[in-house]
Amino acid sequence: MHTFRDLLDSDRSYIFDGAMGTMLYTKGIYINRSYDELNLVAADLVREVHSEYIRAGADIIETNTFGANVNKLQPYGLEASMREINIKAAQIAREASGNRVLVAGAIGPLGLRIEPYGPTSFDEAKQLFADQVSALLEGGVDLFVLETFSDISEMHQAIRAVRELCDLPIVAQVTIQIDGNTSFGTTAEVFTTQLDEWGADVIGLNCGVGPAIVLNSIEKMRTLTDRRLSAQPNAGWPRDVGGRQIYMCSPEYMAEYSRRIIQAGAKFVGGCCGTTPAHIKMIADAIRQFNPRAQSVAVPGAAKISLHELKPADGTVVPAEERSNWARKIARGEFVTTVEVLPPKGCNPRKTLDAIRLLKDAGVDGVNIPDGPRAQTRMGAMATAVMVQQEIGIEAVLHYCCRDRNLLGMMSDILGASALGVHNLLLITGDPPKMGPYPDATAVFDIDAIGLTNMVNKLNHGLDIGNNPIGEPTAFSIGVGVNPGAVNMDEELRRFEWKIEAGAEYAITQPVFDTQQLRDFLKAIESFRIPIVAGIWPLVSFRNAEFLHNEVPGVHVTSDIMERMRAASAISKEAGRDEGLKIARESLAEVRDLIQGVQVSAPFGNVKYALEVFSVLPEFAVSEARA
């Protein structure tokens, strides 16, 4: 078996594991207990997490000992068990490794202030670290990972403790904030240079922030040291839950940034809070190009983890044509029509329902109900959708976003929607609270639209997010959003493909004001195309066009259309409205044969205005002629 120093000398890139706390939490261990104690009372559970990361492709796993020092164990009454906890943790990791991957002894900050910021002296701090180092050595670790340190003086004492007891390699990882500095204000220039001088074998970053900010700092650190670099960012922006930072974002996003971090000069990548074996698997796949001859590590007798494994037989899935009228038309390749109507601002839905009744009378296939667009506060989209279907009899296409609910809440909501007869979903990540009137509101974002699509697809196969049977499967028509005018089109196309892989069955675009842009987009997705419903927004004024172009993310109004709206609006309000309607009709007529449906937005709730856009469609023109 190779040693860690062999890895340091090789030309390959290597992968650390992901979060231990996140995984233990998802397995039912609540946050109000010591996760380090689980080494003694739930060894099989800890071993299972290690094995999952090894199967996912990790080359180095960390012991479950981040908080296993005397000071942090003391509130749980476990300080006397410190040595036993650390020894057992190392033994569990060693057993899981099967001597096929390396075991790193994980050591975190002491959880107290040392001089000059607190009463604990440097030597006292060093001794506390030494006690933990000694126990991990007895348990049989291959190296040490000193992680999530903000005070580099405290990190120095941990390095001293290791060096006085052994010559095993040290990975020293600092936590930074959004500005690239530690919470003590220490810059990358300072902590990189100091850790180099103090003899860390690998200098790195972990926790605190997501991969984008870590990438920026790794690029800077590469110019400051010849030491090997490491990066284990959180899975996106962290959220403090009972003292633990837990946050989840897509494995795909983490994998892409891990690739960039390696290109920027890091040798080791992995994940911290919020990362799971699914993230590590995709990271391993992403950096495989840097290790063309490398073979992923396998545990004897264990199968490789697949992000989409554990699907039951397809025979349990309700056929698309039987899920709803909307799903049936899409499955048969028929053209669908829908109008987007915002939920009521208050608790009285009558005005909104009366407007939607016009859509049913006109023969529109469905009504799109947005879920808190631009982080505005309105009646719940699901409640509105249920009332629309029960009182009016037109199918709703329910927008459902990830922003406001945690994983458990989303599961409950989706199951409830199925029971209430809402079967058409448009799954979106959601706009951040800073866009709305309550910018200090907390956003959840446990998962993004890709993860939510995965969840709903599992439910359609009769499984919950943990792959547990739910009995009768749900029967959702799964839609996702897509933006043909995205600034970073490569990223948009990647995410769209991942949504399709996760189970998306159709997509609705952002409002399209550039038909050539839509044509280019449709050509770019030919290899993995699903039915596309184009968003059309009839402008009402030049000011409306300016707002959409400048203040609504993902919307691009062409300069030609802006000029047309400016000139018309200068004449009169009515002329501006007529010109906006004319532009919307022209756009729909141009792309009608390229798409499978159209979603027309009702500006300011004006459903009659939205209906006028449909007059260019033959089926609506016939209806108008008969009327």
Q: Looking at residue 29, what is its pLDDT? A: 83
Rounded distance, CA 114 to CA 133, Å? 19
Task: Check whether 19 has a pLDDT greater than 80.
Answer: yes
CA nearest to 60, candidates 280, 307, 305, 301: 280
Q: Looking at residue 439, what is its pLDDT? A: 52
222 and 280 belong to one structural domain: yes
Task: Identify whether the C-beta of residue 577 lies closer than 8 Å to the C-beta of residue 612.
Answer: no
Q: What's the mean per-residue pLDDT of the chain?
A: 86
118 and 167 belong to one structural domain: yes
CATH of the domain at 498: 3.20.20.220
119 and 250 belong to one structural domain: yes
507 and 382 belong to one structural domain: yes
Task: Check whether 162 has a pLDDT greater than 50.
Answer: yes
CATH of the domain at 209: 3.20.20.330
Task: Identify whether the C-beta of residue 146 lies closer than 8 Å to the C-beta of residue 184.
Answer: no
Task: Identify whether the C-beta of residue 17 lies closer than 8 Å to the C-beta of residue 280.
Answer: yes
Written as one letter, the residue type at 522 is L
Domain range for 523: 321-536
pLDDT band for position 554 (50/70/90)? Answer: low
Specify the range with the lowest mean pLDDT, choosing from 199-213, 237-251, 275-289, 424-438: 237-251
Q: Looking at residue 598, what is its pLDDT? A: 94
456 and 370 belong to one structural domain: yes
Helix/strand/coil for 107: strand
284 and 331 belong to one structural domain: no
Q: Assess if residue 259 is contained within a domain.
A: yes
Residue range 491-495: mean pLDDT, rounded: 86
* pLDDT tens per residue, range 32-90: 789 999 999 999 999 999 999 999 999 999 999 999 999 999 999 999 999 999 999 99
Structure tokens at 521: 């987009």
Q: Which of 269, 290, 311 is the last residue of a domain?
A: 290
Written as one letter, the residue type at 55 is R
Task: Check whether 343 has a pLDDT greater than 60.
Answer: yes
Q: Which of 536, 555, 579 is the last residue of a domain?
A: 536
Q: How far is CA 472 from CA 350, 465, 466, in A?
A: 35, 15, 16
Max intra-chain CA distance, the chain: 92
Q: What HEC string does 578-602 produce?
A: HHHHHHHHHHHHHHHHHCCEEEEEC
Q: Looking at residue 492, what is its pLDDT? A: 87
272 and 409 belong to one structural domain: no
Q: How many CB atoms lie within 10 A of CB 465?
A: 18
Rounded distance, CA 460 to CA 470, Å? 10
Q: Looking at residue 503, what is its pLDDT? A: 85
Q: Assess if residue 384 is contained within a domain.
A: yes
Q: Which of 484, 507, 536 is the last residue of a domain?
A: 536
Residue range 135-150: mean pLDDT, rounded: 97
Q: Assess if residue 564 is contained within a domain.
A: no
127 and 194 belong to one structural domain: yes
Q: Assess if residue 90 is contained within a domain.
A: yes
Q: Looking at residue 325, what is its pLDDT? A: 95
Q: Looking at residue 376, what is its pLDDT? A: 62
394 and 525 belong to one structural domain: yes
Rounded distance, CA 208 to CA 576, Å? 49
Provide the whole-model pTM. Answer: 0.53
Task: Check whether 431 has a pLDDT greater than 70.
Answer: no
Q: Assess if residue 544 is contained within a domain.
A: no
* pLDDT tens per residue, range 462-480: 887 666 788 899 999 999 9
Q: Assess if residue 299 is contained within a domain.
A: no
Q: Looking at residue 452, what is its pLDDT? A: 84
Q: Assess if residue 422 is contained within a domain.
A: yes
194 and 333 belong to one structural domain: no
Specify the range with the lowest mean pLDDT, choosing from 3-12, 173-182, 381-390, 520-529: 520-529
pLDDT band for position 336 (50/70/90)? Answer: very high
351 and 266 belong to one structural domain: no
279 and 326 belong to one structural domain: no
Q: Assess if residue 202 is contained within a domain.
A: yes
* pLDDT tens per residue, range 570-610: 999 999 999 999 999 999 999 999 999 999 988 777 888 88
3-state helix, strand, coil in the chain (%, to 5): 50, 15, 40
Rounded distance, CA 484 to CA 498, Å? 16
The single residue listed with the structure tokens 């998962």 is: 447
pLDDT band for position 373 (50/70/90)? Answer: low
- Number of domains the chain contains: 2
* pLDDT tens per residue, range 84-124: 999 999 999 999 999 899 999 999 999 998 887 788 899 99
